[in-house]
Amino acid sequence: MPRTETGKRGAGTAPPTDHHDLADRVCVDLETAGFCTSPPTDQAQGGLVVSIDQGDVVVGWLSHTRLNTEALAMVNADHLEAEAVTRFETVRDAMNTALAAVLTGFGYNIRPNPDGLGHIVNR
């Protein structure tokens, strides 16, 4: 799920007219809350992701590739209790909780993304 670079037209009181407008507003509000919504300088970095997937605005968090790679290796080796897996799950759960709190605090309606990666946002 790649990050998107939006036009960032700015948040306002008028309802968004399309998914791109909603994604722009979400980015502005998340920036207002202190998140960086700019594309990464290195694809391995991880961080906030705002994307449009099959017509839905999706907000999620990606861990750095170091943690993803290590956790996936442990899962594939059936070492589900490994420290890397615990760290990955802790970061994922904490950031999903934080994003949900911020998004709802800014007045968005959200629902869990069925793939478990973040939230689907509605206005």
Least confident of 30-44, 45-59, 73-87, 94-108: 30-44
This prediction has a pTM of 0.80
Q: What is the DSSP string of 22-75?
A: HHHHHHHHHHHTT---SPPSSTTS-EEEEEEETTEEEEEEE--HHHHHHHHHHH
pLDDT(8) > 50: no
